[in-house]
Amino acid sequence: MSDLTLTKLDSTQTDFNQQLDRLLAWEAVSDDKVNQIVNEILHRVKTEGDAAVLEYTERFDRCPAETMSALEMSQERLQQSLANLPADQRKALEVAAQRVTDYHERQKSDSWRYTEADGTMLGQQVTPMDKVGLYVPGGKAAYPSSVLMNALPAKVAGVKEIIMVVPTPGGEVNELVLAAAALSGVDRVFCIGGAQAVAALAYGTETVPKVDKIVGPGNIFVATAKRAVFGAVGIDMIAGPSEILVVCDGQTDPDWVAMDLFSQAEHDEDAQPILVSPDSDFIAAVEASINKLLPTMERKAIIEPSMVNRAALIKVRDMDEACEVSNRIAPEHLELSVADPESLLPKIRHAGAIFMGRYTAEALGDYCAGPNHVLPTSGTARFSSPLGVYDFQKRSSLIMFSAEGASEMGKVASVLARGESLTAHARSAEYRIK
């Protein structure tokens, strides 16, 4: 087998920035055909409810059902999945769930208020959402870890009802996903998927409740549907392919780094694994490890196109420049595989999650570290954060003026309102001036 042809970049090249831009270019654009199909599905589910969902579930997932109740999993069925899990799987799921819960407990915001000298009270009331919809991919691409990461922060936030949708193509049920739903306290589970499931959650049907927000990953039809229903409901994010950027000083075992790159490449042919190092000998060693280890990988058919088309080995002048390149990329997952990661941390401004030190494999973050694995992709870490408890809480401003405060601030409001020619505003405030 011949060695892979991998993209190698050097920051001293005059066209380095253009080459990096080309490498990073990713347009998760739904074409007109996808948009057209999704819009039709959304319209039919909105107007026809359960009947449309049943028809699409039979057509796309080969799951015929007479009624929606036939597609709902009972709590007993979920608990049965949990009870029947092999002991090692149940233990792993429970440990991960506890760690994710413990981490997210620390994110909770509490209501607050303060009182001014004249007795005026100002503050903020923090309340959970009532209902949240959780989309979970089904069939072979089933991720119980996604159930934990999406449902547990909502539970910690105090969301009253979590509705999970998961397709079961050809009747294929993933017991681990159902067990994770039982463990996470999911309230209702419907075996539906695709744009029709997103529509059912966004608009409500005779059986599926309308939710306040939809979270969770899915294919291009799911992502397009989520984008289209945003406004009718909240959504978490439109996620692109997975990414990992490893910044290394050249002292980590090259096999470790190669496997860390593979860990994201195996998700998707479009996933993007990148190594940044000032040590050209180390880059060559990692390249040799990639070629040595690739033939041993079960998901080689997915990893190889990701490595050939989207990966890069980037040589930089020093660790400061490595941090600059990382900030430019704003990766979903950033590994600081160096002797002293704390020294680099102040230089990192944009990353979804930062894995510090040689022993902190990104894979630990996917399952059981505790922080959320739902992270901003495609450079959106410049303005977005990981999914968290705060995504399931709302904030309402609290304002209560005393008579004295209303009189004093009424004068200020009056001047500003008249400056905007909004005289009803002005007079409403003026009524309260002593």
User: Annotated active-site positions, please?
Assistant: 332-333
Rounded to 5 degrees, φ, ψ at 385 are -125, 165
First and final CA of the chain: distance in angstroms? 88
Identify whether the C-beta of residue 10 lies closer than 8 Å to the C-beta of residue 16: yes
Spatial separation of the C-alpha atoms in residues 427 and 312, rounded to whole Å: 64
Structure tokens at 54: 């049943």
